[in-house]
């Protein structure tokens, strides 16, 4: 995985974890998060071309955008006004070095 300083704001990184992968990212404000590697919309790998826009993790395929709490905030260019049913499951990270 890495040390807290390895993950600069705005970065998205894939890391091996147990028998699979996880995606580690840091938002522009500095929130460090871990999530499953696949977009809940259609399964694109978030670590292969995913990007950070402000506080959102954006899928490289259809550009669904997820907040640090996993909620879908945007579907492509459109803000979410109804529950999409898409939720990027993740976990908080304890950053012991900041």
- pLDDT computed for residue 69 by the predictor: 87
User: What is the model's pLDDT at position 26?
Assistant: 94
Q: For domain 4-91, give the CATH number.
A: 2.102.10.10
Q: SS3 of 6, please? A: helix
Q: Using CA atoms, how far apart are residues 50 and 34, in angstroms rounded to an integer?
A: 13
CA dist., res. 98 & res. 83, Å (int): 35
Give pLDDT, residue 84: 56
Question: Residue ranges per domain, the chain?
Answer: 4-91
Full-model pTM: 0.82
Phi-psi region of 37 (alpha: psi -120 to 50; beta: other; left: phi over 0): alpha
Q: What does each of the 98 residues of the chain score in pLDDT, given as a tens digit? A: 777 788 999 999 999 988 999 999 999 999 899 898 999 888 899 999 999 999 999 999 989 999 988 888 888 777 765 555 555 666 666 666 65
């Amino acid at each position: 995985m890495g040390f807290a300083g390895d993950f600069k704001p705005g970065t998205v990184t894939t890391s091996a974890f147990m028998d699979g992968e996880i995606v580690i990212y840091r938002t522009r404000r500095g929130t460090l998060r871990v999530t499953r590697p696949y977009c809940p919309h259609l399964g694109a790998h978030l670590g292969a071309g995913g990007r950070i826009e402000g506080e959102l993790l954006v899928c490289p395929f259809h550009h669904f955008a997820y907040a640090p709490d996993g909620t879908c905030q945007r579907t492509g260019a459109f803000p979410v006004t109804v529950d999409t049913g898409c939720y990027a499951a993740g976990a908080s990270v304890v950053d012991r070095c900041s």
